[in-house]
Structure 1
Amino acid sequence: MIFERSLQRELAYTAGAVFMVLLTIMLTTMMIRIVGFAASGQVDPRDVVVLIGLTVIGYLAVIMIVTLFVSILFVLTRWYRDSEMVVWLASGVSQTALIKPVAMFSTPIILAIVFFAFVVWPWSNLQSKLIKARFQQRDEVSLLAPGQFRESQTSHRVFFIEKMSPDQGHVQNVFVTSTEGGKVNVVVSKNGHTETHANGDRFVVLENGRRYDGVPGQPNFRIMEFERYGVKIQSQQFVNTPTTTGMYTNELLANPTRDNLAEIAWRAGLPLIAINLMLLAIPLSYQNPRRSRTINLVMAVLIYLTYSNLLNVVQSWIEQGRVSFGVGLVGLHILVSIMVAIIFWLRIRNRPLFRLSMFTRSKGA
């Protein structure tokens, strides 16, 4: 049918444009956030691009939900504004007839949302966690940077070096201070290098230096000169604690705790949100010439934000045991479906969703 082909073709063009805009916004936001983490030393700067890609891939399900909702709303609103919808309605096409072509266009997107929510979302979170864990397991030498004081995360040590070779094998003008049993130990050296013993232990061997031991505030400091002094390099041990966001769906089902069931409800809620918003966009797209052209977009943003936040609230309630898993899984979406059916009924009977007259009464009334 010409009507269905025309609608699906325009929806495809609009969805592509909206998706690219949302993807660009997401990339920019994640870039600023992860570069900030790298600047503060929380992630490796060499992994910034990978982490940005993994984060964006993980949120593709959310991006596709917004793309679907906004593209349907944009196209149908334009049809009302340009009187194309009037022509179709005059030709015997009802608003319920829009459901079939819109559903045919939305089905591949909803299936993709299911895939990204249940498969890609946990995979991207798991990979991001592994990358961050690898960075946290680095030893103390990798923390050093010429001309900067660096504090060890595994011991009460502060390092300072003036120069370092590119392979981190040799250092010059080294300062190391540590606290042990209330005493302060300060080691200074002109040169040093790294050594690895047969058992795998790594040391920074300092040469031609001095060590100062004592209690702060007391004059009885002990000074020792040395030709060689070894400082063992500590490695931070990372404890792998599984999180629900990084667990695959079959693992969540195998261990049905409250947290795991709440995560399942959140993942299952994404395609259900997409279906409800897809249907809601049809009656919501009605354009009254007397209203502002941006009111539909504002309402769409408010509706999506409210719906997604309510899904997060339901997830929290399941974790706390305030609602059962079954009620939390479908309760919110059934209520929204009923609201969508009521809005459809009002629109088919040409009844306004909101009566603006109560806000625009004349002063003489």
Structure 2
Amino acid sequence: MRLFRYLAKEVLVSTAGVTLILLLVILSGRFVSYLGRVTEGRMSFEFLFVILGFHIPSFIQMILPLAFFLSLLLAFGRLYIENEMAVLFSSGISKVKLATYTLGIAAIIGTLSATLNFWLAPTSEYRAAEAAQEQDQLSAFDFLLPGRFQGSGQRTTYIDSFTPKEGWMNQIFLSSFVRKDGKNIPTQTLAAYAEQIRMDSENGLNYLVFKNGTQYEGTPGTANYRITQFDTYAVRMENKAVEPINEAYTQPTSYLINSAKLMDKVELQWRISLVVMIPILAIIGLSLSQVNPRQGRFFKMLPAILLMIFYIALLIWGRTSLEKEKLPIQLGLWWIHGLFALIAAALFLQYNQTFERRKAKLPMIENSEPNT
């Protein structure tokens, strides 16, 4: 057990480190993408961190098999380079027993992956979809920033400031257009202040109410121009219908098991695949981590990574083919796991010398006749 704890510590610590690094890389890319939406007024700054937090379990479920495989190569490769593996083998530890320890570590990672795939990630994605729906119900005026023009083209909005308590928009400018006689007629509305109110709570009707302002309607440079001054001017704001959240990746695993929908069956196989691939990658990593100290610990890293990328790419292709009904659902993704299980077995036999590849050479006996 001491040896297992030592190996598990080496691999699991490396797995946690690699997972954290890859997660930060993905989060930084998503953060930049979401930050662009914030600056465009399509997302609130607070929602940025909420949606990132909900997506973290889904990011980890994809990162974890990759991080475990790389950590296994790095940790075991270091043990071979520093001759610790040679000491273990000379102490009576067989390579079959080492494979058993490796599968034990893979079982720990697999349990964590199963928790993510079957429970935590779907729950978080459902919460993310709910938060996205709430965000969609917000109007463009909920994203306005004081002192700057926001929008594009004829649809541009500017507010000078917000009142601290009431949240009214002070000194508002709104540029838009109305459709008349098949033409877009530009309009500009200026008001002392404006506010969003809900006039019909049952039907969810929201209005933007302007106070003490002027509206200009017409094409600049033409005589057909209309100027309207008002004390109160209300504009109805469109509300988006709330649709049910029924995407397969947001559904609980218990629902997918009992579902007859194709997309649900494919999603269930995908979740299972992310767990099944971990012990297969463990045997492949164990075999390809065996290097000669003269070769260096990174000698087999490139072919190992290429093999893993091919495994994941084939799973993604298989999932897409199942969704498009190019592959029968009965075949599923199991044939891919079977193929790489055979590859793992072949690598284990080759690199761990379970069978002798060279035939023994028979000694050559020369016949000689006695001299007479």
| Structure 1, gaps ≥5 residues long | 354-365
Q: 1:11 aligns with which of 8, 11, 15?
A: 8
Q: Residues of 2 paired with 1:175 and 1:328: CA distance? A: 57
Q: Distance in 2 between matches of 1:59 and 1:347?
A: 33
Q: Could you tell me whether the CA contact under 8 Å between 2:289 and 2:297 is conserved in 1?
A: no
Instruction: Give the equivalent residue in structure 1 for 2:101.
Output: 101
1:344 aligns with 2:348: yes
**Structure 1 segment 147-158 matched on structure 2, within 5 A:** 147-151=147-151, 158=156
- Alpha-carbon distance in 2 for matches of 1:39, 1:106: 39
Task: Spell out the pairing of 1:118-267 with structure 2 (5 A cutoff).
Answer: 118-151=118-151, 158-167=156-165, 169-181=167-179, 182=183, 183-197=185-199, 199=201, 201-214=205-218, 218-240=222-244, 242-267=246-271
Determine the C-alpha separation between the residues in 2 that align with 1:99 and 1:302.
22
**What secondary structure sits across from 2:331 in the alignment?**
helix
C-alpha distance in 1, partners of 2:231/2:326? Answer: 67
Partner of 2:34: 37
Q: What amino acid does structure 1 have at the position aligned with 2:284?
A: L
Give the CA RMSD over aligned residues. Answer: 2.8
Contact between 1:276 and 1:337, CA under 8 Å: does it hold in 2?
Answer: yes
* CA-CA distance at 1:163 after TM superposition: 2.3
Counterparts in 2 of 1:300 and 1:225: CA distance versus 1, 3 Å:
same
- CA pair 89-180 structure 1, distance change in 2 beyond 3 A: same
Between 158-167 and 328-337, report the one with greater CA deviation. 158-167
Q: Structure 2 CA distance, aligned partners of 1:61 and 1:189?
A: 51
Identity of aligned residues (%): 22
Q: 1:347 to 1:174 in 2, by over 3 A?
A: closer
| Partner-residue secondary structure (3-state), 2:229 | strand
Structure 1 letter corresponding to 2:341 = S
Aligned with residue 321 of structure 2, among 317, 324, 346:
317
Provide the rounded CA distance (Å) in 1 between the counterparts of 2:58 and 2:193: 47
Mean alpha-carbon deviation: is it higher for 301-310 or for 91-100?
91-100
Task: Map 1:281-300 to 2 at 5 A.
Answer: 281-300=285-304
TM-score, structure 2 length as denominator? 0.82
User: If the length of structure 1 is used for normalisation, what is the TM-score?
Assistant: 0.84
Q: 1:113 and 1:8, CA in 2 relative to 1: closer, same or farther beyond 3 A? A: same
Quote the Cα distance in structure 2 between the aligned partners of 1:124 and 1:186. 43
CA shift, 1:151, in A, is 4.2
What is the deviation of 1:342? 1.2
Cα displacement (A) at 1:196: 4.2
Pair 1:54 & 2:54 matched: yes
Q: What CA deviation, in whole Å up to 9, does each residue of 1:106-126 have, x standing for no partner?
A: 222212211211112211211
- Counterpart CA distance in 2 for 1:36 and 1:168 is 32
**Alignment: residue pair count:** 347
- Aligned pair in 2 of structure 1 residues 303, 187: CA closer, same or farther (>3 Å)? same
Larger Rg, first or second structure (1 or 2):
2
Residues 167-205 of structure 1 deviation map (CA, whole Å, 9 limit, x = unaligned): 563233222233222333322223344444365644333
The range that moved more, 96-105 or 216-225, is 216-225
Say if 1:105 and 1:253 are closer, same or farther in 2 by CA, change over 3 A. closer
Deviations 1:83-102 (A, max 9, x none): 23223333443321212222
SS at match of 1:340: helix
The CA distance in 1 between the partners of 2:328 and 2:196, in whole Å, is 58
Report the counterpart of residue 73 of structure 2 in structure 1: 73
Where does the alignment leave 5 or more consecutive residues of structure 2 unmatched? 358-372
**Higher mean Cα deviation, 338-347 or 308-317?**
338-347
Give the partner amino acid of 1:273: M
